[in-house]
Structure 1
Amino acid sequence: MTTTTLTRPRVSDAAGPRLLVDPAAVAANTRLLAGRARGDLMAVVKADGFGHGAVTVARTALAHGATSLGVTTVAEALALRDAGLRAPVLSWLNPVDADFASAVAAGVELAVPDAAHLRAVLDTAPGARVHLHLDTGLARDGAEPAAWPSLCRLARSAERTGRVRVVGVMGHLACADRPRHPANAEGRSRFAWGVRTARAAGLRPSVRHLAATAATLTDPRSHHTTVRVGAGLVGIDPSGTTRLAWAMSLTAPVVSVRRVRAGTPVGYGHTWTAPRATTLALLPVGYADGLPRAVPGRAEVLLRGRRRPVVGRVSMDQTVVDVGDEPVRPGEVAVLLGPGTGGEPTPEDWADWFDVLPHEVLTGFGPRVARGTVGTSLRDAG
């Protein structure tokens, strides 16, 4: 696993909040996860690569052990093709009127969760390579078990006439973040039944995938021919069993500093009052940029080498930090989150402070936040 040390940026670079992605961290995570997988690794880069840039994460993962890519929508898949990526790509969450023809023309494989979707693919994109999607215990996407045998028969009938090729069967575990949960055994059993049923219908799916990040790390019985890893690529282990490298850093410059007396209330609603004379530093980043609004008195940022508490409510565009008696100046840069190697908060810290998933933290940063990668001109922002 790589480590990234966050350095203080030059004041001239401190124009606003900056998000920096470290491909070396993605590479290290991919290698670790590919080493755990018993088969191939599909790099899932949905939601713009979990907020890290789908193309950046995809290219890095493919160079370090992934053999294919996964996304939700056709639009996400076509964006990867437009960027020049030619690895196999699977799209698995689309309405029945999605642009399947463009997907198939671009060599994108499609997940089919029911007969209506299969018929839509047959009508608009004959010749598609499809993965039949079985609901293995979540009651959301995927065919219900009662409808699975008929879906397999319909797919086999279409395959005989050359209108479709069934290359895969997929499912998803409901409780893989808790490896001993009985739902996982039930999901594995249902998936095995689904594969047997598909084969009994005459299908021969060469790709079978059930495990995502947590199961890749904790449950080899669920690996089959391929595992789908998304969160783990950027540092999230939902199972809490493996230390991965965080790939994102977020910084913001101090735009103003003020000295206040004891008893001074801060922010909307006056939810925090200075208990003593202190110095407040203002950062130009807020909930419109992806920070949670309600601060429970635990959130911190790194400024001048120390953790400083966020005080008062986060506003749409502004966050206030208590720096005590430190002579902080406008233009100095605070690290809101990063890999943790320099003492800064990590995405997991923010998730714990606000009782949300790290996924929610990392995918929530808005378009006003400037983005870059380590090695670009924004390096100093990290």
Structure 2
Amino acid sequence: MTGMMQTSTHLRARAEVDLGALRGNVRALRARVGAGTAVMGVVKSDAYGHGMVPVARAALAAGATWLGTATPHEALALRAAGIRSRVLCWLWTPGDPWREAIEADLDMSVSGMWALRELTAAAREAGRPARIQLKADTGLGRNGCQPADWPELVGAALAAQTAGQVRITGLWSHFACADEPGHPSIAAQLDTFHAMVAYAEKEGVEPEVRHIANSPATLTVPESHFDLVRTGIAMYGISPSPALGTSQDFGLRPVMTLSASVALVKQVPPGHGVSYGHHYLTPRETTLGLVPLGYADGIPRHASGRGPVLVGGVTRRVAGRVAMDQFVVDLGGDTPEPGATAILFGPGDQGEPTAEDWAEAADTIAYEIVTRIGSRVPRVYVNEANDVHVNDANDANEAIGHENV
């Protein structure tokens, strides 16, 4: 969800979102795939925590021609914000707002017969055809139609198209292990996708776009690019996997910098317990700095004792447990003034940690680090180039209903 608005110029914490970096990342990804392949900017989960509407506008300004969301509520929020580009939404449940999506000119993913039945009923009510994309399960085992069920779904979709209820605009799938170089499932899924696309086209489907490539495949599996690539985490300047290479290796720049103002600095004696459970005892007389961010703000509790923070030009570690609203760093005797900046992660220009460093400290992935930053942390947009306004995404946040994936 999007950070709340704070009018004070002195923010307890801020997630600075560099829209210039985001536009540069989109341009780099466009150059990588070439002129024959379109780029979708995936903005689900409030644009991976960066702010859906400002990011969507910046991505489109840089040449993305599609946007992607998980839920229809996210996609409808884009429309409510006045964004008219093509939008694909793919995570549907029974009873979702099919008719509203049809009337908003969204492209809707269909993975099974139940969805096609609900969608065609909504199209009849709306009096206009729905744009649909048939999703194939080529081996991921989540959403998507199994190969054995594909003929039934394709046949029913074509019948609905003949009846004027739908227009089949795409065929697509999703990789399971594209972030693991050389994994045998990559080639196997590509073979299955080719076969399922060939079957659908033989039966009469004429898709506008065929797509399977996510961020890691966009960067490292060129044979998967087809007509469209779906760039999520790469658009935000974060490598999909350390095994594939760093952001710098791919010409990408991290977009978000998370920082806070040090709330308190105090001297304590040796052997002093720090935070709940006293899992950290000061080894000597030292100074402690209080950082006003906690797990309620998305700072992973699993990074207790390990999360890196740059204060006063020196990288410190979280001392003891991360609490709900705050954590402590051992300053080693240094005495920065209250209000000094503590940088949790950013692009690394000032020697600060990166989201990947926090992912390593929390035994997770960088996707989770940026996406989980909570609503108490204001998003502050820089390098807007007139494509967004600071805190524009708050309006979309209300429309989304705080839904994340």
**Which TM class, normalised by the smaller chain length?**
over 0.9
Residue pair 1:179, 1:219 contacting (<8 A) in 2 also: no
Percent identity over the alignment is 46
1:147-198 Cα shifts (integer Å, max 9, x gaps):
0011000111111111111010010011100131110011101111111111
Give the aligned partner of residue 185 of structure 1. 187
- Look up the equivalent residue of 2:120 and give its one-letter code: L
Residue pair 1:45, 1:230 contacting (<8 A) in 2 also: yes
- Secondary structure of residue in 1 paired with 2:216: helix
- Secondary structure of residue in 1 paired with 2:331: strand
- Structure 1 residues 347 and 227 mapped into 2: Cα distance closer, same or farther (>3 Å)? same
Deviates more, 1:310-319 or 1:327-336: 327-336
- Secondary structure of residue in 2 paired with 1:324: coil
- Secondary structure of residue in 2 paired with 1:279: strand
Q: Report how far residue 21 of structure 1 moved.
A: 0.4
Q: Does 1:311 align with 2:311?
A: no
Cα distance between partner residues in 2 of 1:232 and 1:15: 28
Q: Does 1:45 align with 2:47?
A: no
- Look up the equivalent residue of 1:284 and give its one-letter code: P
- Look up the equivalent residue of 2:16 and give its one-letter code: L
Give the aligned partner of residue 14 of structure 1. 10
Q: Report how far residue 264 of structure 1 moved.
A: 0.8
Q: Report how far residue 296 of structure 1 moved.
A: 5.2
Q: Report how far residue 136 of structure 1 moved.
A: 1.1
1:213-234 Cα shifts (integer Å, max 9, x gaps):
1000111111111111111110
Cα distance between partner residues in 1 of 2:210 and 2:187: 17
Deviates more, 1:199-208 or 1:224-233: 199-208
- Look up the equivalent residue of 1:20 and give its one-letter code: E
- Structure 1 unaligned regions, length at least 5: 1-11
Cα distance between partner residues in 1 of 2:335 and 2:175: 52
Q: Report how far residue 311 of structure 1 moved.
A: 0.4
| Residue of structure 2 aligned with 1:350, choices 358, 370, 378 | 358
Cα distance between partner residues in 1 of 2:354 and 2:10: 21
Residue pair 1:69, 1:90 contacting (<8 A) in 2 also: yes
1:23-45 Cα shifts (integer Å, max 9, x gaps):
01111111111111141111110
Cα distance between partner residues in 2 of 1:100 and 1:296: 43
Q: Report how far residue 324 of structure 1 moved.
A: 1.5
Give the aligned partner of residue 300 of structure 2. 292
Q: Superposed, which structure 2 residues align to 1:252-263 within 5 Å?
A: 252-263=260-271
Residue pair 1:308, 1:321 contacting (<8 A) in 2 also: yes
1:65-104 Cα shifts (integer Å, max 9, x gaps):
2111111111100111111111101111111311011111
Give the aligned partner of residue 99 of structure 2. 101
Cα distance between partner residues in 2 of 1:259 and 1:303: 16
Cα distance between partner residues in 1 of 2:225 and 2:144: 19
Residue pair 1:266, 1:272 contacting (<8 A) in 2 also: yes
Residue pair 1:14, 1:333 contacting (<8 A) in 2 also: no
Cα distance between partner residues in 1 of 2:98 and 2:154: 20
- Secondary structure of residue in 2 paired with 1:336: strand
Give the aligned partner of residue 9 of structure 1. none
Give the aligned partner of residue 4 of structure 1. none
- Structure 2 unaligned regions, length at least 5: 1-7, 391-405
Could you list the structure 1 runs, at least 4 aligned residues long, displaced by more than 3 angstroms after superposition.
12-15, 294-297, 375-378
Q: Does 1:360 align with 2:362?
A: no
Cα distance between partner residues in 1 of 2:218 and 2:344: 30
TM-score, normalised relative to structure 1: 0.93
- Structure 1 residues 375 and 182 mapped into 2: Cα distance closer, same or farther (>3 Å)? closer
Q: CA RMSD in A?
A: 1.6
Q: Does 1:157 align with 2:175?
A: no
TM-score, normalised relative to structure 2: 0.88
- Secondary structure of residue in 2 paired with 1:232: helix
- Secondary structure of residue in 1 paired with 2:160: helix
Q: Superposed, which structure 2 residues align to 1:130-141 within 5 Å?
A: 130-141=132-143
Residue pair 1:43, 1:69 contacting (<8 A) in 2 also: yes
| Residue of structure 1 aligned with 2:24, choices 18, 22, 28 | 28
Q: Report how far residue 375 of structure 1 moved.
A: 5.0
Q: Report how far residue 113 of structure 1 moved.
A: 0.3
Number of residue-to-residue matches in the alignment: 368
Give the aligned partner of residue 8 of structure 1. none
Q: Report how far residue 13 of structure 1 moved.
A: 3.8
